[in-house]
Amino acid sequence: MRRFAVAQNFFMRAAPEWERWTIQIVEIVETTNGVVVEARYHGTYKPTRKVMDLQVCHVWKVSNGKVTSFHQYVDTAGLHEVMGAMVSRRQRITQSGTTRQPQQ
């Protein structure tokens, strides 16, 4: 199924960007049509050298013994921070050298 292929491609493409990337499974909950996996991702993002320890949840739907869908829920703010994608308000102010007063 296409969705499953997307999940496979995501993991295969993302792997080279990380060192010591692991998933620590916390709990697996079986449902009538799939499983929910609560876990944590660990690893170091090579471009920033920042360490990741993020909570994730995978929802796998299954029909007739085949995966029909995969959804991943992850701490995106934490992931962006590790990947250097988020700049705090304080950093923006420091970098620009200006401050803005709050609107009243």
| Banded model confidence at residue 98, pLDDT cuts 50, 70, 90 | very low
Domain range for 42: 2-96
Is the confidence at residue 55, as pLDDT, over 50? yes
Question: Which residues share a beta bridge with 56?
Answer: 39, 74
- Residue 102, domain member (yes or no): no
Gyration radius of the chain's alpha carbons: 18
How many structural domains comprise the chain? 1
SS3 13: helix
Percent of the chain with pLDDT over 70: 68
Contacts of 3 (CB under 8 A, 6+ apart): 67, 68, 69, 70
Q: Across residues 46-53, what is the average pLDDT?
A: 93
pTM: 0.68
Mean pLDDT of the chain: 79
Domain harbouring 13, CATH code: 3.10.450.50
Q: What is the DSSP-derived secondary structure letter of residue 101?
A: P
Q: Across residues 1-30, what is the average pLDDT?
A: 76
- 97 or 20, which is more confident: 20
- Residue 50, domain member (yes or no): yes
Is the confidence at residue 61, as pLDDT, over 70? yes
